[in-house]
């Protein structure tokens, strides 16, 4: 029993869950910065819904990539439970469905508070969580996965929670969401560059598979470093701590870019994934602290 629980946790990909955590943290900090208060219950429910949607997306990805032949015994990335035979595709997809359903339940109070815009956003988020790798037009197989993450684990997540808390949509929320979304996408870009050759064999045309190694490396560089430049926005808004504090994470961002440029895609990129998750979390925390200050 304990072994199965551990394997489910592995399937959830806990190291990537910063993608769900950081936008909620940032939106809550921005709310406090702009209004002097925040409702922690809305942030908690949004966090739970975000976690559940991301984990559900990960599980669908696990099962469907195996079904389509993208995950084989030659896989370079971390162990996938469907490919390794720990769980069947039916078990994994059923668990994903349960988690998506729980995400919808968590979203009901948020919809009641935020109205129809939150209903639309939540519905699309759940649908695209499934459609990331499954359905008639799987985003990850069409090179749209990166854009999905920027939008839904960045701009939409931040603007959505900020709207629930304040009933406002501001440029501050959009820029904050873009900064967070760009860093979240570094994980996807590294993962896709590592798996580029295997993805091409099964027609999974991620941006790296479509445009090649050089493009993939420069994409990671832009995604890693542009959030720091976007921080100039906070300087113009006289949010000087929000501008200054995140720069402390720059050495880690530069290190990731350097390593990607000097290392051929392979299992070593799994270490870079952990570093990218750390960059996303550290930058997000520092930016959030800066906004509160």
Does the pLDDT value for residue 220 go beyond 80?
A: yes
Closest CA to 156 of 169, 143, 141, 146: 169
Predicted local confidence at residue 78, as pLDDT: 66
Question: What tens digit of pLDDT does each residue of 84-110 get?
Answer: 777 888 888 899 999 999 999 999 999
Between CA 249 and CA 253 the distance in angstroms is 7
Q: Where are the beta strands (DSSP E) in the chain?
A: none
Does the pLDDT value for residue 74 go beyond 70?
A: no
Question: What tens digit of pLDDT does each residue of 238-269 get?
Answer: 899 999 999 999 999 999 999 999 999 998 99
For 243-281, give one letter per residue: b (16+ CB within 10 A) or e: bebbeebeebbeebbebbeeeebeeebeebbebbbebbb
- Asked if 246 and 228 touch (Cβ cutoff 8 Å), the reply is yes
Least confident range from 146-155, 187-196, 197-206: namely 197-206
Least confident range from 119-128, 211-220, 232-241, 244-253: namely 119-128
What pTM does this model have? Answer: 0.92
User: What proportion of the chain, given as a percentage, has pLDDT over 90?
Assistant: 67
């Amino acid at each position: 029993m304990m072994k199965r629980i551990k394997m489910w946790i592995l399937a959830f990909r806990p190291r990537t869950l910063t993608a769900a955590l950081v936008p909620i943290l940032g939106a809550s900090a921005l709310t406090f910065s702009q209004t002097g208060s925040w409702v922690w219950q809305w942030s908690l429910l949004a966090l739970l819904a975000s976690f559940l949607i991301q984990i559900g997306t990960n599980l669908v990805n696990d099962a469907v990539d195996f079904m389509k032949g993208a995950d084989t015994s030659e896989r370079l990335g971390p162990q996938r439970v469907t490919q390794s035979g720990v769980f069947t595709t039916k078990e994994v997809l059923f668990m994903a469905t349960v988690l998506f359903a729980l995400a919808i339940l968590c979203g009901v109070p948020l919809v009641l508070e935020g109205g129809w815009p939150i209903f639309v956003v939540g519905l699309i988020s759940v649908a695209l969580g499934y459609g990331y790798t499954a359905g008639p037009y799987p985003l990850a197989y069409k090179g749209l996965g990166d854009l999905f993450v920027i939008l839904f684990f960045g701009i939409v997540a931040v603007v959505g929670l900020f709207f629930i808390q304040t009933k406002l949509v501001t440029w501050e929320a959009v820029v904050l969401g873009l900064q967070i979304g760009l860093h979240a996408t570094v994980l996807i870009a590294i993962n896709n560059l590592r798996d580029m050759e295997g993805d091409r064999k099964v027609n999974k045309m991620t941006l790296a598979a479509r445009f090649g190694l050089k493009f993939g490396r420069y994409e990671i560089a832009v995604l890693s470093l542009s959030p720091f430049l976007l921080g100039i926005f906070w300087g113009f808004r006289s949010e000087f701590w929000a501008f200054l504090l995140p720069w402390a994470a720059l050495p880690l961002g530069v290190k990731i870019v350097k390593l990607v440029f000097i290392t051929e895609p392979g299992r070593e990129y799994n270490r870079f994934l952990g570093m990218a998750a750390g960059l996303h979390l550290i930058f997000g925390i520092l930016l959030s602290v800066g906004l509160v200050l």
